[in-house]
Amino acid sequence: MEFLTSHTWYDCKCHRQFCQFCDGGLGYCRICQGFEGSLPTDCPGVRMTQVQQDLVYEGKIDFRVGRGWVTPDGTGRSMGDVALIAEKMRYEAHT
């Protein structure tokens, strides 16, 4: 069920230039309160604690539907996954 796994994006209607949501395209989930770097791959469906947000931002944890809170493994879209993917690409570029 797609709607349970994807974030519910905050839809800013101000349409002001330089608005970080309208103009900058920043993602902010109204449900888990994840914001760009603190967004897990899947939405946990509840508001994250500050500690969880910080850990996602630091790339230490990620939320996957069916698995819960996990360690990023390079298959998702969280900060930790992105870092792993970037590291892998760097490694492959040098070999």
Binding residues for Zn ion, per CB under 5 A?
A: 7, 12, 14, 19, 21-22, 29, 31-32, 43
Nearest approach, Cβ of residue 87 and Zn ion (Å): 25
Measuring CA to CA, how many Å separate 21 from each of 24, 27, 39, 56, 63?
5, 7, 15, 21, 23
Cα separation, 29 vs 21, in Å, equals 11
Q: How far is the CB of 50 from Zn ion (least distance, A)?
A: 15
- Distance of alpha carbon 3 from its chain centroid, rounded? 16
Minimum Å gap between C-beta 74 and Zn ion is 21
Nearer to Zn ion (CB atom), residue 12 or residue 65: 12
Q: Which is nearer to Zn ion, 26 or 83 (CB)?
A: 26
Q: How far is CA 31 from CA 21, 69, 70, in A?
A: 16, 16, 19
Query: Of 65 and 84, which has the nearer Cβ to Zn ion?
Result: 65
